[in-house]
Amino acid sequence: MNYKTDAQIHHDVIHELKWDSRVDETDVGVEVDKGIVTLTGTVHNYAKSLAAQEAAHRVVGVLDVANDIQIKTPGAGRPTDTELAQAVRDAMRWSVFVNDKRVTSTVHNGFVTLEGTVDSVHERNEAVLAVRALDGVNGVANRIKVADAIVHPNDVRIAIEAALNRRAENAVHGVTVGVVDHDVILDGHVPSWIEKKTVVDAASHVKGITKVVDHINVVPGEISHLAI
């Protein structure tokens, strides 16, 4: 089983940041300690901070990412909270994945709080995606709830298997799927962050799931099966 050194991970994260057109790699500092990547620096909006975070996670060998990037929106032309609230409302209305009539927002000093009730964790997450790239957003607090529905563990397992097959990913090693009330608990190991994200995303699409509790660890080189 081959593991990358911290120096190799540092090199690959830097190149992944250069490759990602959403990020200016000169704005982001990278430190690596035992597979844990710390990102520093200053960017102009919240979306760029998250893009850098996602880029680091894509690198094989990265176990965790600490995002210490600061967000400083340029003062000239910065939207007021009222203008930002209107932009959030428009973003909700234009999103094809979110029922805008079921989501409300509060804006204070550039921080957006989303509330309401939707049908799935995926729709809850899409509401955040719709607003996080807006100019002037410094952060998003997601307090949206998911409507109750009957959830069967086997339905979640089938959804995960189908997603893995569609995306030509390997099966998942030692991943167990449990349901407590309306929460899905995922445990075990996967060989890459991409497979971890695939499993979590698949679970989030199941209606009635109010929370996906992710305890999956990334262990490069693992071989796989899916359990329940």
Positive/negative CA dihedral, 57, 59, 61, 67: negative
Tokens 């909006």, residue?
45
Backbone angles phi, psi at 87, to 5 degrees: -65, -35
Q: What is the pLDDT of residues 217-226, one digit of tens each?
A: 877 665 444 4
Q: Is residue 125 part of a domain?
A: yes
60-64, 153-157, 211-215: the lowest-pLDDT one: 153-157
Computed on alpha carbons and rounded to an integer, the radius of gyration of the chain in Å comes to: 19
Domain CATH for 62: 3.30.1340.30
Residue 187 has pLDDT above 90, yes or no: no
Q: State whether 158 and 223 are in the same domain.
A: yes
Domain boundary among 47, 71, 95: 71
Report, as an integer, the average pLDDT of 45-74.
86
Overall domain count for the chain: 3
Q: Of 38, 71, 104, at which residue does a domain stop?
A: 71
Token output for 160: 């995960």
Domain end, chosen from 146, 181, 202, is at 146
Residue 102's domain spans which residues?
81-146
- In a domain, residue 1? The reply is no
102-133: per-residue pLDDT in tens?
999 999 988 899 999 988 888 888 899 889 88
How many Å separate Cα 68 from the centre of its chain? 16
Average pLDDT over residues 31-44: 91
Same domain, residue pair 59 and 88: no
Q: Indicate whether 76 belongs to any domain.
A: no
* pTM score above 0.85: no
